[in-house]
Structure 1
């Protein structure tokens, strides 16, 4: 095994993990990222930091991809995953120095993970003990204002509970969208329905449409081209217009055809059009004159939410709009932070939009990502129905359980299990450091508290103290999210620690082949 190459790979990953890990918690440190093009980004978000880093090492690229996939799938916990991965790799490097083989370390890590999962299941509490708002508040690290955290977390919990309790199929965190914009500090509105950041295509269009028929389209709204793709499929037209009069006649026919299509849609009740394509300038006035409001360039995610909210179906063009394909909603236009937004409140599956305000662009981005994490954590807690103490309390409890199990394990895997346990306390150590406490002193105090039977003792970073996190201002995390973060970190670490060579795929010489075979 090429230990020098292995150590170099692990060192690169360890530096990235350590950098990202310092952003953990409500007082995670800020990073000033200076990109090669001169762009400067200040962020305390681990996910955004990974996105901004220009990584080309294959091991760090694998780490970035894994954490990105975790964030996309779970919506929260990516920073914890990165921090634990780095800690596990550091412990593995120390075990290699003591003569353990990567296979032995991986086997010990797997045994420790099994103990951790069993312990998590046994120590989980019902969500009803703490409430979903406590889970949202724990994940909402983008603001330190207690009133704002309470108001936003309660709004998220109420909306998530409504969506989860509905009979609509496939309801989940996609039904609660988060928009953060410049404005007054702490101003937050939970809006029933879908909020579109795209303004109406014409100022002449109506701005309030109660109980409007909603047409959802996938193509550009324009006059149909005679003999073109918008014509009926059973027509076979061949045009040969050579004179000005003939061209003018064709143009008048196309305009008349659009007027007929629009009149038919309006007669069916259509008052609002949302399309993935554009709205041609020459038809905007006709739509406005007919009392129809329209937005264009609607993204796929927004269109899916409109489908669920209004109960409509996406059709190719205005010609296919019928009462059966249309949805229904109350539509209004409101101004927010100097821009106009379209609010669509439908009669279908429950949809909510959380509109938050922050004083500057950096705070806006941080608050929006934090609120999205809180939404994901809340829905996961409602799905699991169980939570575990936050603030590093769970990691300290898992450490004790794994160390106890390791003492009863024969073979060198015992050393790997102890290394796994030591890696877990990196989480409370980082939280304690960010709260202004001494990291290892904080860990020792937590260990003493847990030895005394206070198994919910953790770090309250906002208060800068160690206390029972299930009392007072509760700090709790979803059971499933914590379990998946520990399991994913273990999988990623064991995959990386078995890498012993960097092999160029496009230049595999005989020497490289021999080294790879060894």
Structure 2
């Protein structure tokens, strides 16, 4: 389906509330069919004709062109949630749409927007209490940590691939004591998902980090055993002359003398490295070409332009200290590793540092048939890694399949029954809105959402608090099914949805304004829009012409000019 919401022709004084709420419900409608293990894919086509097929809500949102400023505000909020939490993008979008839709009905009944916002905010505190009561603790060695990762990636691959990726992700996380700084993920095209592996060590991507190496050539069989590693956090070039001045070259002998002087300076630099028995010189910046060649000839492997995070990781893992210049190198600054070797992966190359005596480090080497599949695989594994870290951080887990939202709905509804003023209406609307998650899961599984909701409420009434919607659409105990999620995911989905809905509800009209950020008016004379609310804050938004196209379907195929169609689940 095409997704375009245009407010460029809207009247500034006659803007209706539903015109402001529309983008939120449109985004929710676009992502609804992607939720859960039975979620369908979207084919997102950009202006160049490139095609991406995915059912990851964050990826779909990234590819949409949204004309409505309110729509962009909502998307930005949901994307911020995805960056911080790593999962729950689609759930958050559905909750935003449902809360805005419910607010529209409350406004028609005479409830003021600020009262609705206050009611939603009150409901979130009760929701968090309900989730905490439902949660169970988990530690890094608990088997439920694997179930958390598996739940996050279920529906993206078949059962065997899901189990494999969950296992290698959780094993790598445990190996680094759940420290994300000691775990890196690399994805390369040209192989199948089954070719993915976990590497005990640091992989430095030669292509993406602009790293270059001399001395190995293209021989993957060659490796340096127990090499001494030095790290220089600056450019490595021959030292400049101590005296400033101008050199005048009058004849070939003068030119030869200048070159001999430069060679001598370079030789001193090479000797200063070789005399310290350095086997691998890792430089965060560039190395002079001539120096690099001479280092390789002297038996020193030069590695230049190493990415900052990789540079720091190598220093910690090798037990080395980075210095500002080669002249500062001494025995105390050097480190060592078990081996350094070059590996060819998917048409590119990586440098592998293994056998790390200092800080342990793990790398996940992911493969995919095409660059798009490899990139999407990396995003999915990062989601699984993020939720596993949340679960292991001490917050606990709750049953999935909408069980957490049913607990929230019951708790907020009970609270609403004890309130004797009009704020009870907002609480009741919130309690009904959060059931959009189990209802959508049931619909996407081919089950009747009303029947599923009734069954869930009956099971909860009988004390089965972990009851949720399974992949088959049936209602069953989610803990028994191994479908669990960190309590932080539904809690932050609710918090983000309420904050975003509150931001939109406080806006009462759209006003044309002069440029407020110093930008020029574009060629057709249009300016950005400022959105004023009763809280006095403006929200700037310009116009984007054209629209992205999102085609729902099962697994997409077919060519498109300039693009490369792919489907991750193929």
| TM-score, length of structure 1 as denominator length | 0.87
Within a 5 Å distance, the mapping from 1:318-337 to structure 2 comes to 318-329=326-337, 330-337=339-346
How many Å separate the matches in 2 of 1:307 and 1:21? 46
Within a 5 Å distance, the mapping from 1:107-256 to structure 2 comes to 107-127=118-138, 130-141=143-154, 143-164=156-177, 172-182=179-189, 183-198=191-206, 200-202=212-214, 204=216, 207-224=222-239, 226-227=240-241, 235-243=242-250, 244-256=252-264
By percentage of residues, which structure has more helix?
A: 1
For residue 558 of structure 2, what is the aligned residue in structure 1? Answer: none
CA spacing shift, 1:198–1:95, aligned 2, 3 Å? same
Alpha-carbon shift at residue 305 of structure 1 (Å): 2.9
CA contact (8 A) 1:190 1:355 kept: yes
CA contact (8 A) 2:225 2:340 kept: yes
How many Å separate the matches in 1 of 2:163 and 2:359? 26
Within a 5 Å distance, the mapping from 1:268-287 to structure 2 comes to 268-287=276-295
How many Å separate the matches in 1 of 2:162 and 2:430? 34
Alpha-carbon shift at residue 21 of structure 1 (Å): 4.0
Worse-matched range after superposition: 107-116 or 312-321:
312-321
Within a 5 Å distance, the mapping from 1:119-518 to structure 2 comes to 119-127=130-138, 130-141=143-154, 143-164=156-177, 172-182=179-189, 183-198=191-206, 200-202=212-214, 204=216, 207-224=222-239, 226-227=240-241, 235-243=242-250, 244-329=252-337, 330-345=339-354, 346-461=356-471, 463-472=472-481, 474-506=482-514
Deviations 1:62-117 (A, max 9, x none): 22322232222233333322222222112112211222111110111011111111
CA spacing shift, 1:255–1:184, aligned 2, 3 Å? same
Alpha-carbon shift at residue 350 of structure 1 (Å): 2.2
CA spacing shift, 1:176–1:515, aligned 2, 3 Å? closer
CA spacing shift, 1:121–1:514, aligned 2, 3 Å? closer
Q: Which of 39, 45, 58 in structure 2 is aligned with 1:28?
A: 39
Worse-matched range after superposition: 92-101 or 256-265:
256-265
Alpha-carbon shift at residue 454 of structure 1 (Å): 1.4
How many Å separate the matches in 2 of 1:470 and 1:426? 21
For residue 30 of structure 2, what is the aligned residue in structure 1? Answer: 19
How many Å separate the matches in 2 of 1:281 and 1:125? 58
Task: Give unmatched runs, 5+ long, in structure 1.
Answer: 165-170, 228-234
Alpha-carbon shift at residue 325 of structure 1 (Å): 3.2
CA contact (8 A) 2:238 2:269 kept: no
CA spacing shift, 1:419–1:245, aligned 2, 3 Å? farther
Alpha-carbon shift at residue 137 of structure 1 (Å): 0.9
How many Å separate the matches in 1 of 2:530 and 2:474? 55
Alpha-carbon shift at residue 220 of structure 1 (Å): 4.0
For residue 523 of structure 2, what is the aligned residue in structure 1? Answer: none
For residue 77 of structure 1, what is the aligned residue in structure 2? Answer: 88
Alpha-carbon shift at residue 435 of structure 1 (Å): 2.6
How many Å separate the matches in 2 of 1:513 and 1:45? 31
How many Å separate the matches in 1 of 2:90 and 2:215? 44
Deviations 1:346-380 (A, max 9, x none): 32222111122333444322221110011111111
How many Å separate the matches in 2 of 1:375 and 1:470? 20
How many Å separate the matches in 2 of 1:7 and 1:220? 59
CA spacing shift, 1:493–1:156, aligned 2, 3 Å? same
Query: Are 1:43 and 2:43 matched, yes or no?
Result: no
How many Å separate the matches in 2 of 1:483 and 1:30? 26
CA spacing shift, 1:27–1:514, aligned 2, 3 Å? closer
For residue 567 of structure 2, what is the aligned residue in structure 1? Answer: none
Alpha-carbon shift at residue 158 of structure 1 (Å): 2.2
Deviations 1:382-412 (A, max 9, x none): 1125111112111111111111111111211
CA contact (8 A) 1:75 1:372 kept: yes
Superposed CA RMSD in Å reads 2.8
Q: Which of 98, 102, 120 in structure 2 is aligned with 1:87?
A: 98
How many Å separate the matches in 2 of 1:2 and 1:303? 57
CA contact (8 A) 1:212 1:269 kept: no
Alpha-carbon shift at residue 504 of structure 1 (Å): 4.5
For the residue of structure 1 that corresponds to 2:213, the secondary structure is coil
For the residue of structure 2 that corresponds to 1:502, the secondary structure is strand
For residue 167 of structure 1, what is the aligned residue in structure 2? Answer: none
| TM-score, length of structure 2 as denominator length | 0.80
CA contact (8 A) 2:511 2:532 kept: no
**Count of aligned pairs between the two proteins:** 499
Alpha-carbon shift at residue 516 of structure 1 (Å): 6.8
